[in-house]
Structure 1
Amino acid sequence: MKKMDVDRLIFYDGDIYDAYLASPCLFDTDHTTEIDRVFWRERVKECGDPVLEIGCGTGRVSIPLMEAGFSVVGVDFSQSMLAQARKKTDRVEWIQEDARTFNLERKFACILAPYYVLSYFHELDDLEAILKNCKTHLKSNGKLILDIPYFSPQFWREFFENMGLVENLREFVHPRTGEKIDTKFDQEYDFERQIYSEIIIYHFPNGKVVSDRLEHRIYFPQEIKAILKYNGFRVDRCFGNYDSTPFQENSPHHILVCSHWES
């Protein structure tokens, strides 16, 4: 992943992103409720201050953590997303950096990578660079908490049943132009590369149609545990959803709480 890959997507235009996620969705989503934010707050309570969020976007997680009394730093390499976050508050330290290379010269009790942030990095070298960077920035007893995509057997059944079916997703109002934009959803999976693509198709009132392709690298449960192990992390706990239930076969999420090995 390169910086330009995010900057060219409509989805990662900061104020469009917020308007899009605030609109009613055809599919159930945790991002329209409070349950996910409660989950992250509880995990951070177990770790303490300070907190670093990688891929903080427009502040959906960082800002509630700050409001709960934590000292929070948010890192993202999208200038547009951070600009939107800064409009909301200056009480979080917003930093524009690449997750693979940032150097804040300080350590954190908790580092969060919510909402599939790491899945946007498709190459093993990139993932290992991020893990090395996280290890450098963690206190000796600190925790790294990763939320990565998990596709259950139930997901795959539905995926194959609906293959080739483009579905209505949501309608939202463009925050700068006031246009109503209709969006549709398609999906693809590259089995060789383990890349799942979410395709968002934007239909503008003037007839213009634009597509975003959000590509996620899928790490299977034992695969990600092995990668973490050989990069100096042990997995302490696994959650399968934001209600804190344990990870299991048909969980909608795979959230791993990790400690780094002492050198």
Structure 2
Amino acid sequence: MDPYVNIAPFYDLEHSNFVDDIDFYLRHIHADPILEVGVGTGRVMVPLLQAGFEVWGVDTSAAMLAVARERVANFDQAHLIHGAVDDLPPGASFGTILLPLNLLWHLRDLQQQRRFLATTRDLLAPGATLLVDLSNPLTLADRGARGELRERLSHLSPDADVHGWSSCWDDEAEERLYLSLVFDEARDDGSLRRVSSKLELRYLYKGEVELLLWLTGFRVCSLYGSYDLQPFSSHSPNILVIAKVDDGLTR
């Protein structure tokens, strides 16, 4: 079941003002076509299109893609596919592949993450770049969470008031977050609506990311701890990797 089917209309209310990653991506994208895996509602795709790039977006959520299709309808160089990377056209090849905002966490275990990265490698053109954007588990807001309720969103407008909460359980032994999301919408006509969803996320530490990339034939060119290119430390908010295919290595 699509975990975003109920919450897709509220996703951009929480994330639309988050633009810190966009400049980082644009700084490190030097070739298209670009493949954004987990394109979601098109939040990242639109500024890439506005910069003149050809962008392909793939996502398993039909609900999120419905929002994205509306946002990119006027761009001829936009291509959206419902499915996984295996559903791309035969022979597809990309100058840049972008794995944004914890995309890798949505894969259930290390085996799936490794298979996915191996498939991704085969989609890169010679000399192409892989960009990986992850949160640092050591500084997560939900690190060590035990089901506490946390407010995520309060959006007031003439048409509706929307409030969002989350409750998370951090299984540190298995490196998994069990996240419950709830959004309440009160419309100006007096109607009320509550929607909810649950996500299971398998987070990764820096060493695991580097090992997975090495095992799947990538060479890490740069690794940063923030969007303003600070070196990684245990206190960094992010794990940001720029990698290329390393054809000279055997595993």
Query: Scaled by the length of structure 2, what TM-score is found?
Result: 0.84
| CA distance in structure 1 between the partners assigned to 2:160 and 2:2 by the alignment | 25
Q: CA deviation at 1:120?
A: 0.6
Amino acid at match of 1:167: R
1:5-41 Cα deviation digits (max 9, x unpaired): 4355x33x2x33223434xxxxxxxxx2433211111
The answer as to whether partners of 2:143 and 2:170 remain within 8 angstroms in 1 is no
Aligned length: 240
Structure 2 alignment gaps of length 5 or more: none
Amino acid at match of 2:59: D
Post-superposition offset of 1:180: 2.6
Return the offset for 1:93. 0.9
What is aligned with 1:134? 120
> What residue number does 1:26 align with?
none
- Whether 1:191 aligns to 2:169 is no
Structure 1: how far apart are the matches of 2:128 and 2:229?
Answer: 20
Match of 2:163 among 163, 182, 185: 182
Give the aligned partner of residue 182 of structure 2.
Answer: 201
Matching of residue 113 in structure 1 with residue 107 in structure 2:
no
Q: Helix, strand or coil: the match of 2:101?
A: coil
Q: Give how far 1:163 is off.
A: 4.7
What is residue 19 of structure 1 aligned with on the other side? 13
Among 3, 9, 34, the alignment partner of 1:6 is: 3
Distance 2:213 2:166 in 1: 32
Of residues 212, 222, 227, the one that matches 1:237 is 222
Give 1:219-230 correspondences, 5 Å limit. Answer: 219-230=204-215
Which of 252, 255, 258 is 2:237 aligned to? 252
- Among all aligned residue pairs of Structure 1 and Structure 2, give the percentage whose two residues are the same amino acid: 26
Distance of aligned partners of 1:33 and 1:226 in 2 relative to their CA distance in 1, 3 Å threshold: closer
Q: Distance in 1 between matches of 2:109 and 2:173?
A: 13
CA RMSD in angstroms comes to 2.6
Which AA in structure 2 matches 1:50? P
Is the 8 Å Cα contact of residues 49 and 109 (structure 1) preserved in structure 2?
yes
Instruction: Tell me the CA shift for residue 125 of structure 1.
Output: 2.7
In the alignment, is the contact (CA less than 8 A) between 1:102 and 1:133 conserved in 2?
no
Q: Write the mapping of 1:154-193 to structure 2, written as runs, cut at 5 A.
A: 155=140, 159-160=143-144, 163-172=146-155, 178-193=159-174
The structure richer in helix per residue is 1
**Alpha-carbon distance in structure 2 between the residues aligned to 1:36 and 1:250:** 18
Normalized against structure 1, the TM-score is what? 0.81
Q: CA contact under 8 A between 1:199 and 1:214: conserved in structure 2?
A: yes
Residues 204 and 93 of structure 1: CA distance in aligned 2, closer, same or farther (over 3 Å): closer
Name the aligned partner's letter for residue 172 of structure 2.
F
Q: Which residue of 2 aligns with 1:25?
A: none
Runs of 4+ in structure 1 off by over 6 angstroms are none
The alpha carbon displacement at 1:155 in A equals 4.5
> Residue type of the partner of 1:148?
L
Distance in 2 of aligned mates of 1:5 and 1:34: 26
- Which residue of structure 2 lines up, in the alignment, with residue 35 of structure 1? 20
1:16 touches 1:174 (CA, 8 Å); kept in 2? no
Structure 1 unmatched ranges of 5 or more? 23-31
Aligned partner of 2:49 in structure 1 is 66
Which is richer in strand? 2
